[in-house]
Amino acid sequence: MCRKLSLLLLCLPLLLSTSWAQSESLTPQNDEFRGVWLATVAGLDWPDCNELAIVQQLRLIEQIKGLRELGCNTLIFQVVSNMDALYPSRLLPWSAVLTGKEGQDPYYDPLALAVQVAHDCGMQIHAWINPLRVCRDDITPHDSSHVSISHPEWVQNYRHKLYLDPGNPEVVEFLRSIAKEIVENYAIDGLHIDDYFYPDGLQKDGNGWRNDMFELYGKGKALDEWRFGTINNVVRVLYETTHECKPDLVFGVSPSGRLVNTCRLYADPRMWVDEGTVDYLAPQIYWAIGRGDAAAFEQVLDSWSFVSKGVPVYVGLAAYKYAQEINKGLDAPYLSLAEFKRELELCRKSWYVKGHIWFRTLDVLRDDFRSYILSELYEQ
């Protein structure tokens, strides 16, 4: 074990210092955005908390270089998933996905490593945060710095899941501080949030959700109107913070693919576009072509032509659905890799679509998917 560890320690500086010779040749034609989400929540793509820190680092390097070899040019790296962090934060505890224990120092900085490797490979990197999720329902935070313990008054419990209340001005300032901490301390190329806004179902029933912030700040507005306004405010604050700290960075949001779905979360991308508070949109269009219903890929894709108004759209593609047994009936096309070629062809024919993002890393790096992308989807 000691000998293997010594070899790993010797390899790490070499891997970090080696520039990626193929970066220039892999630059996509016409600047097509080719992104990949690297999900760290529950260790979906990375890390494994049972591995040594040095092994975790080597695996992260291997994954990022594998994505670049594939032809991808942008890494969307999840750094805040349950109001915990994959970097040394003064605001959030260390994530338990690194060591198995929330708040425990892994003795390296995953975000710094990801930034260095991505840039060495000629890739951009966007730091991805879940904006309102406090923790998954199968987790009980215990570190004193976790927001559910340090500021329980900011937290809402809805159907046994915890969320930050975006109607609370202190919560918005907390999110601003998280964004500022990341943007100021890391050479990232963008900040990215996904669709963890108000919980789905809240429009129909407010079971367990306190309305004290609405009573304080509603100012005569209807409840639904006020809630949409609070999400607009979160998006605006994160956009402004990103650009105030580093004007050249981009801020993007990945809403649900169907507008009706994202509006159920009190999030309306049309408002963000009209207010100029997003640099790109990455709708998660995770349904097959030709389904024959309102979720059909081609129908949902077309709906974004009326939303974007010149804001780049990077379509989220459901790599995770490939060859899963559950994909029967309407999603049966995902049993074949050819479905992704058809989806990409539609994206590339759409004037408002400037690229795509795969969900997620381990799915596109599996041998058959990787070979298909190299041979059929990306020109090398």
Residue 57 is assigned to a structural domain of this protein: yes
Domain count, the chain: 1
pLDDT at residue 7 is higher than 50: no
Residue 75 is assigned to a structural domain of this protein: yes
Residue 226 is assigned to a structural domain of this protein: yes
pLDDT band at 12 (very low <50, low <70, confident <90, very high): low
- Give the residue numbers spanning the domain of 119: 32-377
pLDDT at residue 66 is higher than 50: yes
pLDDT at residue 27 is higher than 70: no
Residue 290: strand, helix, or coil: coil
Give me the pLDDT at residue 204, please: 87
pLDDT at residue 9 is higher than 80: no
Q: In the predicted model, what is the mean pLDDT of residues 59-80?
A: 98
Q: With pLDDT > 90 as the criterion, what percentage of the chain qualifies?
A: 84
pLDDT band at 15 (very low <50, low <70, confident <90, very high): low
pLDDT band at 212 (very low <50, low <70, confident <90, very high): very high
Residue 102 is assigned to a structural domain of this protein: yes
Q: 3-state SS string over 180-246?
A: HHHHHHCCCCEEEECCCCCCCCCCCCCCCCCCHHHHHHCCCCCHHHHHHHHHHHHHHHHHHHHHHHC
> Mean pLDDT for the chain?
92
Give me the pLDDT at residue 23, please: 36
pLDDT at residue 14 is higher than 60: no
What whole-number distance in Å separates Cα of residue 165 and Cα of residue 156?
6
Q: In the predicted model, what is the mean pLDDT of residues 90-97?
A: 98
294 or 26, higher pLDDT: 294
Residue 21 is assigned to a structural domain of this protein: no
Of 28-37, 247-256, 364-373, which range is least confident? 28-37
pLDDT at residue 167 is higher than 90: yes
Residue 25 is assigned to a structural domain of this protein: no
Residue 15 is assigned to a structural domain of this protein: no
Residue 270: strand, helix, or coil: helix
pLDDT band at 4 (very low <50, low <70, confident <90, very high): very low
Of 6-10, 81-85, 111-115, 205-209, which range is least confident? 6-10
**CATH code of the domain in which 39 resides:** 3.20.20.80
Residue 178 is assigned to a structural domain of this protein: yes
- In this structure, are residues 102 and 135 in contact, taking their beta carbons and an 8 Å threshold? no
